[in-house]
A and B are shown apart, each in its own frame.
Chain A
Amino acid sequence: MGMEGIGARVTRKEDKRFLTGKGRYTDDMVVPGMKHAFFVRSPHAHARITGIDASVALGMPGVIAVLEGKQLQADGIGNLICGWMVHSKDGTPMKMGAWRPLAIDTVRYVGDAVAIVVADSAAEARDAAEAVMVDYDELPAVTTSLAALGADAPQIHPEAPGNLIFDWQIGDPAATDAAIAAAAHVIEIDILNNRLSPNPMEPRATLGIYDEAEDHFTCYTTSQNPHVARLVMSAFYNVAPENKLRVIAPDVGGGFGSKIYIYPEEIVCLWASKKTGVPVKWTSDRTEAFLTDAHGRDHVSTVKMAFDKDHRITGLKVDTVANLGAYMSLFSSAVPTYLYATLLSGQYAIPAIHANVRTVYTNTVPVDAYRGAGRPEATYLLERTIETAARELGISPVELRRKNFIRTFPYQTPVIMTYDAGDYEASLSAAMQAADWDGFPARRAQSEARGMKRGIGMSCYIEACGIAPSQAVGSLGAGVGLWESAEVRVNAVGTIEVLTGSHSHGQGHETTFAQLVADRLGVPIASVNIVHGDTDKVQMGMGTYGSRSGAVGMSAVVKALDKVEMKAKKIAAHLMEADEADIVIENGDVKVAGTDKSLPWFQVALAAYTAHNLPSGMEPGLKESAFYDPSNFTFPAGCYIAEVEIDPETGKTEILQFVAADDFGNIINPMIVEGQVHGGLAQGIGQALLEEVRYDENNGQLLTASYMDYAMPRADDLPSFSLSHQNTPCPGNPLGIKGCGEAGAIGSPPALMNAITDAIGINTLSMPATPLKVWSALQAVQMRQAAE
């Protein structure tokens, strides 16, 4: 590795603009004639719309237009879709209800958009929206998945009787039932995975610009995947043909999944721009974000894990109900199925697995992928179960895990996935050593002497990244291929632009992608620019989610660099009258190996563009593109250990240490990888200790709709983290990368809950482990002990 190449701890190229206030986010965009939008939203969780009267609003200062759903429908704008078809086990397709960008007859969650007000200023639009009179006939609402499946539950979509979207299964039910029947021990546990709001710090925003002369639309938007936004808005929502729609996702302030999807607001602002003849900008406020950004998690599961007399796992049976909210968001069907149940083998050799998943509609905001997307739910379920099993079987949780580890690769699980490489023992040992696991009893005794409860817990996670082989996901119902694209443009002076379909919204691609080029060509990263996030500049790409930018996006860059290098070598061989096979590229020079013949990189680039002396028949120029389709998922894995101390007087949990030992395959920039883990850990710890979206079950009102009600992790809620890596290169892609973006959020909740339940001396406690819940659990333990 060079100073700036693969593996180097390079500080980020993009930092300066963010540190000096020169970042350019969607809400920062100003164009001539721009007006502002505010959405009229349903205050009810479920209601019929009986009338909309905008006459007062239209007379208010600055108001340009109030537009509603019937006009949108009349103009042929389509409904929002879920892009992944899942079939129920009886073979019937999922039952998708209509999601109109602006509701026409019925609203189905608090925040469902009903109309858009366009005015001179954002404040005037907001004022006028208050004056739009919408008449509603309230209907009964249901917010929890189990209640929605009840016989007398309100019916949310006519297309989905009983609110059931699909009833899906994976694995072998007969073999699993047989394993449970024959087991020496069966551990049963109920698992809840709490509903979360992703909360990137930048609220969603969009600016729709219609150019009448060109009949062309431009959409600035807070998106993780602008090309998919363009594709979907063009192909399904009939906003405009792709060649008449440019989507730009400029600097984007975090996503965590919530900015993958195409929401009603982008569509409506583009349409409203054409309707009104002015550019229309909308920026969400934080309460609107809680009300309308797709939520994550919200699973209710029952688990049976079977063991033989030697404590080997013989079977796993899981029944899960997943709440998908009021409408099916873009990837909502894939999250509780192919991104969840396919990971239920964890790090363990389990001969028989069966999972049944029912997804249901409720009168809540749509639920879709949030950091980890299905894998945190699988990991939490498995790691809470195996920990509980160890306690009930009376053996060490370490030994129970070790006994059941998968140790040979490739390993075919009973739930589709083929794990390609890993070393689970290495991460377990490293984490235990870093945490001084063996010294815990002495530390616990010290805490007890001070009247405190101390606990330790671990989690051994595996996840699947680098989504995904297009043919495989296509066979599972995906509506798109999940390859990535790249173009490497060498300029005549030797500087380089890399155009990538990946999108950076905090991940640092402008640095890491440049490091890859620096590593290959020996040029400084300062001479490499990374271009992304604009459909007019960059060829079709699939965007960033599922930790795919390294494993898939950079692999596409590698393929394009291969072609560039091959052509550069041909040119250099021609210029230096050498054999092409003897040409090497080192430290920015193109050399003939074993001789003193050498050309600086820029001269080869210049020769490609002057074209005065190229090999016979060669086209001028030095610019190549590539599409990379992965051959498999990648499988990051690791072991996390949490140690906590609980004050029994208050129930407050303090994290004394948090250790993460990860296998991410090869690493481009350790500094950035560590940052990804820190952030993931904070979100996972937030899930375990602080965060929960709560609706009022009686009327469907969102109770956690601001930072005064939804507990975001703050600096003083978290410790500093202890990180290490035990990397086994991924054999499936050219750089050996597995991906690191989500691991922290996947592995940490069960480690923490295992530590907290260890401290309290119980097996079940639902997240978030708030002081009240922990204190109540401690009281129950004390009462039980007093009674005994």
Chain B
Amino acid sequence: MAKVTLTVNGRAMAGECDDRTLLVHFIRDRLGLTGTHVGCDTTQCGACVVHMDGKSVKSCSILAVQASGSTVTTIEGLAVQGELHPVQAAFNQHHGLQCGFCTPGMVMTAVDMIARHGGQLDEATVRQELEGNICRCTGYHNIVKAVLSANEQMHGAQRQAAE
């Protein structure tokens, strides 16, 4: 058994688990945060994406003990006081989700993508960046629209503030 200490969505959490426990299972089963999903077991589908120390990671390919000591944000921690994050709002506005199963991973990936590109996103870049997230419902059309829209909103607002 291994001891794992994490800050998850701003709260310090500690627990014991098998050495082999994956971060995603620790988050789901030990912390009860079931918004992070397991879709493929082979690091392909991205339903399990969370942010670890500010970077998006696939929580199915990290042991919980490896993550110990880090700060993790899951989909449950993205909205602030009930106010949807601009990426979440854009997914709603542009119908970027259907069954919702891939959605948490998509949203977490998109938030990270928008942050990394500093506002410089176009359709081709978004499609390439989404390569590690599989959606079977939407054909990606509206996900791409939502990411571009959120990017515009977030960086457009920044640009306006700077001007």
Contacts and interface: CB of A to CB of B under 8 A. Distances in A.
A506 B137 contact: yes
Interface string A178-205: 0000000000000000000001111100
B136 A683 contact: yes
Nearest to A11: B92
A206 B97 CA distance: 24
B40 interface: yes
B138 A22 contact: no
Given A674-B142, A678-B140, A714-B133, 13 more contacts: A18-B97, A18-B99, A19-B100, A19-B107, A22-B35, A202-B99, A253-B99, A254-B137, A286-B42, A678-B141, A707-B42, A707-B44, A707-B45
Contacts of A251: 99-100
A784 interface: no
B102 interface: yes
A715 B84 contact: no
B126 A707 contact: no
Interface in B146-163: none
- Please indicate which of the listed interface residues B140, B142, B143 has the most CB atoms of chain A within 10 Å of its own CB: B140
Interface of A: 11-12, 14-25, 27-28, 30, 123, 199-203, 251-254, 256, 285-287, 505-508, 671-672, 674-675, 678-683, 706-708, 712-716, 718, 720-721, 744
Contacts of B91: 15, 19
A251 B127 CA distance: 27
B98 A21 contact: no
A637 B91 CA distance: 29
Contacts of A24: 34
B29 to A, nearest CB: 8
A203 B39 contact: yes
B136 A199 contact: yes
A14 B45 CA distance: 23
Interface of B: 18, 20-21, 28, 32-42, 44-45, 47, 74-76, 78-79, 84, 88, 91-93, 95, 97-104, 107, 123-124, 126-128, 130-131, 133-144
A21 B36 contact: yes
Contacts of B28: 28
Given A28-B34, A201-B134, A716-B127, A20 B88 contact: yes
B42 A706 contact: yes
Contacts of A707: 40, 42, 44-45, 134
A11 B95 contact: yes
A675 B84 contact: no
B46 to A, nearest CB: 10
B42 A715 contact: no
25 contacts: A11-B92, A11-B93, A18-B99, A19-B92, A19-B100, A19-B107, A20-B79, A201-B37, A201-B39, A201-B135, A253-B37, A506-B98, A675-B95, A675-B98, A675-B138, A678-B138, A678-B141, A678-B142, A679-B98, A679-B137, A682-B139, A707-B44, A712-B136, A715-B143, A716-B130
B136 A256 contact: yes
A469 to B, nearest CB: 29
A526 to B, nearest CB: 15
Contact of A672 (B39, B95, B101, B135): B95
B98 A708 contact: no
Contact of B41 (A287, A674, A678): A287
Given A11-B95, A254-B98, A506-B99, A679 B134 contact: no
B41 A286 contact: yes
A118 to B, nearest CB: 17
A201 B92 contact: no
Contacts of B38: 27, 203, 285
B11 to A, nearest CB: 15
Contacts of A715: 126-128, 130-131, 133, 135, 140, 143-144
A287 B91 CA distance: 30
A12 B135 contact: no
Contacts of B130: 714-716
8 A-B pairs with least C-beta separation: A21-B35, A18-B100, A253-B101, A506-B99, A682-B139, A707-B44, A506-B98, A678-B139
A286 B40 contact: yes
Nearest to B18: A123
Nearest to B130: A715
Given A202-B101, A507-B98, A12 B35 contact: no
A16 B107 CA distance: 12
B131 A12 contact: no
Contacts of B76: 20-22
Contacts of B144: 715, 720
Contacts of A286: 39-42, 45
B43 to A, nearest CB: 9
Given A201-B99, A286-B40, A12 B92 contact: yes
Contacts of B21: 123
Given A20-B84, A678-B141, A682-B140, A714 B134 contact: yes
Contacts of B135: 201, 715
Given A716-B127, A716-B128, A201 B88 contact: no
Nearest to B82: A20
A336 B79 CA distance: 47
Contacts of A718: 127, 139-141
B39 A202 contact: yes
Contact of B37 (A11, A202, A679): A202
Contacts of A123: 18, 20-21
A23 B98 CA distance: 12
Nearest to B140: A715
Contacts of A720: 123, 141, 144
Nearest to B33: A21
Nearest to A14: B100
Contacts of A203: 38-39
Contacts of A256: 136
Contacts of B123: 720
